[in-house]
A and B are shown apart, each in its own frame.
Chain A
């Protein structure tokens, strides 16, 4: 039996490794980039030594779908040859594909896999069912594995999908999509910072870092806006990000990480009293330090941007998008399913995808969702330890199942029947 390569080909990150292992061997950005020092587009490496300032980026995936097969071929061949060290002709491939992929895109993907790389066989999976598989194997006695039914909320890089899964099959008539993901959020943050302080429109990698480190989901936007208006140390949200100078440090960093975390432990009234003096001394020292280094470094402050950016997933209408927010999206997805499934679906919501990593994402979702759900149903949201890798882990489980080989489309079958005929096997 040949080995299986499991490839979760996301718009932001490629997760790849051998089937059966616990973690993917390689996680790289799915793009080529060109730093200022280079004329050619380079492959991203896992060691992050190089200077990514103002790097131009080319991505093979637009709005979640593979539109540039040539570029993808480039990236994959680098991945298979130099990073994973597998020979495609002697292995099978388990590939994740976004829901509702277009026939033309499926065809070009098949061409890429069988004709350019020559894989032995191919299995195409969709990510919600893999997440469900992983989650139900992780906790075999939970409701979702007993009922074989869950609602996967996947906040990814290109879009957000809410997909009901039943018996390891995604119910495609119930899937709902919001066209907002991590990429749009990063771009929105870029726009805000560029207008308000420093032009960072070209700094995609940098702003990704800022977003991951500093953004969080607000539980109560009105109150938080009031707090963000305050001056001095009452303002729990103000924090400073230092831009790389290209000499001593190549990466930006948060100037005062503790201060950046203040809002998380501050329910404003409680718990601060006993060590107040020490706290004040600390803050004085910090403010002095802050004043001292100002002139030598480029930096910018973030305040309400920190929670207004992730807020867009919950209320895209604020951005001018004519789309419902995540909570309403979940309700619509559930309502599209059979009434018998609804109580179970509400109780087994799985939250996954990189954009769900914002602090307090699940709490906010719970808070938004509860008023919309009939009161006799329970709402239970399951978060995961590592939401970026879950799809891959599910794929790895699937690839190590005993009858995986028999469900694949082989190269011979592809050559005999063509792409469209073979694709019917995967119920897409």
Chain B
């Protein structure tokens, strides 16, 4: 997820580029677990968890342009995974936010269009695809969406530039309670909820017994993102 990674992207052929970088980034980056944790927390604020994931898995990948195609690939990957394993939609929404992060890091690396508009294009594109509306140019779509789409609170927060205030002014950022004084943390089994002694070596989630480990491995152990 940093510079040398994106340079590595440039040298690859287009075909592998569709597949490999996602995996490589996911497997290579060390802070993926913390990203996964963050994405999980983000998902707690979602209104409708699993719904978009269902709508987006349509067909006609052919008309996708390059970046959309990569994300489309992850979409279909999610689709397959969701069918084969019993993924709950929280994991799907986690993957969704992984895509989000991916798009976010790309903002600094690849194209000239800022991340927000690109992602807006993408999301509305996904929605519109099923309706079969006439395709417009990128700029027109970006303009239209920039006017219409409500922005998320985090975008507004970023825009308000609260960091620039002097430190004695109370603001949204300074009102946050901050980290706990004790670093100890209780761990609960991700399968049954009782206190968990063991950590999954593949993905870092917790479980409490052999039985729960097996269930964890069969269902939600996210090998390909962690």
Distance between Cα atoms of A282 and B1 in the complex (Å): 61
Given the known inter-chain contacts A65-B156, A104-B156, please indicate yes or no for A321 contacting B150, CB distance below 8 A.
no
Distance between Cα atoms of A188 and B49 in the complex (Å): 11
A102 touches B157 (CB 8 A): yes
Q: How many A-B residue pairs have CB under 8 A?
A: 143
Smallest CB separation, A56 vs chain B (Å):
5
Which of A103, A323, A328, A332 contacts B160, CB < 8 Å? A103
Smallest CB separation, B204 vs chain A (Å):
10
- The answer to whether B44 has its CB under 8 Å from any CB of chain A is yes
Chain A: CB-nearest residue to B93: A201
Distance between Cα atoms of A172 and B185 in the complex (Å): 30
B152 touches A62 (CB 8 A): yes
Cβ < 8 Å to A, chain B residues 152-179: 152-154, 156-157, 159-160, 162, 170-172, 175-179
Interface size on A, residues (CB 8 A): 63
Chain A residue numbers with a CB within 8 Å of B159 are: 104
Which of A63, A68, A161 contacts B45, CB < 8 Å? A63
- The answer to whether A168 has its CB under 8 Å from any CB of chain B is no
Given the known inter-chain contacts A57-B47, A105-B156, A191-B90, please indicate yes or no for A175 contacting B170, CB distance below 8 A.
yes
B179 touches A322 (CB 8 A): yes
- The answer to whether B46 has its CB under 8 Å from any CB of chain A is yes
- The answer to whether A320 has its CB under 8 Å from any CB of chain B is yes
State which of A18-26, A138-146, A303-311, A345-353 sits at the interface with chain B. Answer: A303-311
Smallest CB separation, A67 vs chain B (Å):
5
Per-position contact with A for B43-71: 1 when CB-CB < 8 Å, else 0? 11111111100000000000000000000
Distance between Cα atoms of A191 and B93 in the complex (Å): 11
Chain B: CB-nearest residue to A70: B150
Distance between Cα atoms of A352 and B154 in the complex (Å): 26
Distance between Cα atoms of A149 and B92 in the complex (Å): 47
Chain B residue numbers with a CB within 8 Å of A317 are: 180, 185-186
Distance between Cα atoms of A387 and B152 in the complex (Å): 29
Chain B contact patch, size range? 35 or more
A325 touches B175 (CB 8 A): no
B156 touches A201 (CB 8 A): no
B172 touches A320 (CB 8 A): no
- The answer to whether B107 has its CB under 8 Å from any CB of chain A is no
- The answer to whether A337 has its CB under 8 Å from any CB of chain B is no
Chain A residue numbers with a CB within 8 Å of B162 are: 102
- The answer to whether B106 has its CB under 8 Å from any CB of chain A is no
Chain B residue numbers with a CB within 8 Å of A259 are: none
Per-position contact with B for A293-326: 1 when CB-CB < 8 Å, else 0? 0000000000111001000000111111111110
Chain B: CB-nearest residue to A55: B48
Which of B51, B152, B156, B160 contacts A202, CB < 8 Å? B51
Cβ < 8 Å to A, chain B residues 182-224: 185-188, 190-195, 219-220
> Could you list 22 A-B pairs, sorted by A, with CB under 8 Å?
A100-B172, A161-B175, A176-B177, A187-B43, A187-B45, A187-B49, A191-B88, A195-B220, A196-B191, A196-B192, A199-B89, A201-B89, A204-B47, A225-B194, A305-B193, A308-B193, A317-B186, A318-B187, A319-B41, A323-B179, A323-B180, A328-B180
